[in-house]
Structures are given as structure tokens and as C-alpha cells.
Structure 1
Amino acid sequence: MLTDSESLRPKETTLFEKVIAACPELTALADLVRGLAALLKPAGGNDTKLAEWITIARAVDRPHLGSFTNGLEIDRAAVNAGLTLPYHNGRTEGVNTRTKRIMRQIHGRAGFDLLRHRILLP
């Protein structure tokens, strides 16, 4: 559902259409997922589009969508910033993930000195 329909192979497109046709509720869900996926590329005006998307998602009346939209509303300022601003913390998160991986690898073998050495001298 998250893949752009133009990038699907013909066999995948046919299968997806069959699955969607079998369940009308899934059709509405697929439209909602594609609408949200379109908002994930940061651009101006995505905050107002998100408000419209939340209204539509709540009208579908699916329990999991309701809890998801409530979660979006709880931290709306951060969600709006993520959808509209070109800045991100991907590099920082990558460093954190790498550090945690190294810590798991050397768990119980040595102390902080080895961790420091493994991080600073790749």
C-alpha cells in the first residue's frame, strides 16, 4: 500500500487490485495509507493536508485508525514540523544505532575504554 502504484510490477498491481476488490473496507484503508504516504515528503502546506487527512480517517471509523490519529494529535507540533520542515535528525539516529550495536557486541567483555576505542577508531 505504501509503494507508489507506478513502481509496482503488473503482477503486483493485479494482485493488489484483487485484494482491494475483495474487501471494500480495505479500499478505504488503502486510500488513507496512500494519502498519508504522500504527506511524508516534507513540503509546505502538509500541516493543513494532515488536518484534512485526520478528519477523513476519523470518518472511516476504524479503531486502530482512531488511536493512530489520536496519537498524531497528542504531539501535533512535532508531527507538523516533521511534515513541513526539510530538517531531520537521521544522521544522529544513525550514530545512536551504531553505538548501541557496538555496545551489544562487546557486552560483558570490557568497559568504557574499549567502547570508546571502537567508536572513535572504526
Structure 2
Amino acid sequence: MGGDRATGLQRQLPASSRLLPHQTPFGRSGHRTPLSPRTVAGWILRHPDSLCEVEQLRLKAVLTHCPEPETLTGHVHSFAHILTERQGQRLPEWLDAVRQDDLPGLHTLADGIDRDRAAVIAGLTLPWNSGVVEGHVNRIKMLNAGCSAELASHS
């Protein structure tokens, strides 16, 4: 139902202002299929090397026609690099860059990181982690949930 509304709205826009004017390799030749924001977000969040050729081409078309996702993609990939390479010292620079762009969703993320900036930087920089402790906490929670469910079924 929601897809029908999105398709209807897209048809009402002049062809020159449509966000995603492309031909789909999945449908009839020449048939325009609007991409969902979830699909595009999935492509942005995945490592570029994990996208198939069609996904890479379609993402490139989106980024060519709309500057906001291109800026967002740059920030997402930069943040992923900071996380995977454990470069916490680069976080303040990344936060400043995010705040210079009009991307409210990332501003919310930046504000959340700022509330505990020192801990986030330490977590991205120091070699220690609390993974073992968190594993035990999760195991205890699961055991407690199982006991609670069993007690409820006997009541």
C-alpha cells in the first residue's frame, strides 16, 4: 500500500525533478521503479566492495542526482573507517565535519556521541574492551528471562 502511494507521488513529479530516474534491470525495459529509502540506506551502510555491479551503478545514479545522500555516504564511510581502524583521535574532526552539513539525523548522532565523548574516544582508541563482561551480562539476562517465563507458565 505504501509503495503504491510512493509510486503515485513519483509519477506526479516532473521527470526532471525525480530523485531516481533510472531504468531497472529487474523489470520491463524502460519501466521506472522507485527505490525505497531503506534500499539506498542499505547500500550506503554496506562496504562498497560488497555491492554487486548493479547495486553500485544504481547507488552511483542516486548520488549523482541528489547531493544529500552523497554527503551522508561520505560521513558514513569515514565513521566506519574510524570504527574499524580504531582511530578515536579522528572523532572530533569527524564530528566537526558532520555539523557543517545539513543532515539532522547525523547531528543527533553527533550530539549523542558528544554527551560521552571521552568514553567513546577511549573505546575507539584503547586496547581494552568489556566484551567478556557484556557476554556474561547477556547470558544472565537470558537465564532470568527463561526463569521468569517458566514461573509465569506455572502460575
TM-score range, shorter chain: 0.7 to 0.9
Number of aligned residue pairs: give it: 108
Distance 1:99 1:25, change over 3 A: same
TM-score (norm. length: structure 1): 0.75
What RMSD over aligned residues (CA atoms) do the two structures have, in Å?
1.9
Query: What is the aligned partner in structure 2 of residue 109 from structure 1?
Result: 150
* 1:2 matched to 2:42: no
Closer/same/farther in 2, CA of residues 76 and 109 from structure 1, 3 Å limit: same
TM-score (norm 2): 0.61
Gaps of 5+ in 1: 111-122
1:95: which partner in 2? Answer: 136
Structure whose alpha-carbon radius of gyration is higher: 2
Shift of 1:4: 1.9
Q: 2: distance between equivalents of 1:108 and 1:48?
A: 45
Q: Unaligned 5+ residue runs, structure 2? A: 1-43
Does the CA-based 8 Å contact 2:89-2:125 persist in structure 1? no
Pick the aligned partner of 2:81 from 28, 38, 46.
38
- Structure with more relative contact order (C-alpha pairs < 8 Å, separation 6 or more): 1
Counterpart of 1:55, as a letter, is D
Between the aligned residues of both structures, percent identity stands at: 33
The equivalent residue for 2:64 is: 21
CA distance in 2, matches of 1:95, 1:22: 48
Deviation at 1:51, TM superposition (A): 1.3
